[in-house]
A = this chain, B = another copy of it.
Amino acid sequence: MVTAKPDPCALDRCVLCRCCNPEWSERVAKSRTVFHYEKGQDIFTEGKVVQGLYFIYSGAVKVHQSWGPGNEFILRFAVSGDVLGHRALVSGADSPISATALERTTLCHLDNTFLGATIKANPSFAHMMMQLYATELQKAEKRMRDLAMMPVKSRVAETLFVIREVLGSDAEGYFRIPVTRIDIAGYAGTTYEAVFRLLTAWARDGLVTIAGKKIRINEEEKLRALIQYFTL
């Protein structure tokens, strides 16, 4: 992890930068710390308390928690413009969470003291953060329901759509960032083997194409039908 000299955040991408008064931006520029992470590096880990918020400038990140021996649950994927470290703004007991870069990632960090001052001085920032949390909460509620009620097959199908949606796809429709089956399982809340078998079956039937590490959704409708039945 290296503190950046070239190509810092241009103060135009994240919630914070977009919501503050111009004169506050100068204080943001002074208070922030910009970090670079390479693929596979941890931005923060379960052991330590997360202080402050991280705003992703570019790259992609998975937010996850280890679970028992050798399992991990992926809470979400985050990319440019997203915020990491919800807990910063909530006092008290936080559940231990890690964030790991999925590709070269640049982000900036602001500490709690500065954020507190920002909220007081910029009502629209507090408002935006409230909106952001409310939106996240809604998504979380949907996902809770899905994890609780949908069979593994549907959850894995949905995970593929989420990955494509959040992480993006390239010109040929393949996921922009190769995601391991282990990570797919971690997001869908199932085992590696279950994911493997489903992907193999779908590839055989042409619903998806698997080219080495890369995955592409072919038959959008058929794959979505596996979810839809249970969304009724």
Q: Which of A's residues lie within 8 Å of B, judged by CB?
A: 65, 67-68, 71, 73, 75, 86-87, 89-90, 94-95, 119-120, 123, 126-127, 129-131, 133-138, 140-145, 147-149, 188-189, 230, 232
Contact = CB atoms under 8 A, between A and B. Distances in A.
A147 B149 CA distance: 9
B232 A134 contact: no
A130 to B, nearest CB: 4
A23 B118 CA distance: 26
Given A68-B232, A133-B137, A134-B133, A145 B90 contact: no
A86 B89 CA distance: 19
Nearest to A189: B148
Contact of A144 (B89, B120, B130, B143): B143
B95 A141 contact: yes
A145 B75 contact: yes
Contacts of A230: 67-68
B140 A189 contact: no
Contacts of A123: 120, 123, 126
11 contacts: A68-B230, A75-B145, A87-B138, A90-B138, A94-B138, A95-B142, A126-B127, A129-B130, A130-B133, A133-B134, A148-B188
A86 B145 contact: no
Contacts of A75: 141, 144-145
Contacts of A73: 144-145, 148-149
A119 B232 CA distance: 36
A148 B76 CA distance: 13
A199 to B, nearest CB: 19
Nearest to A97: B141
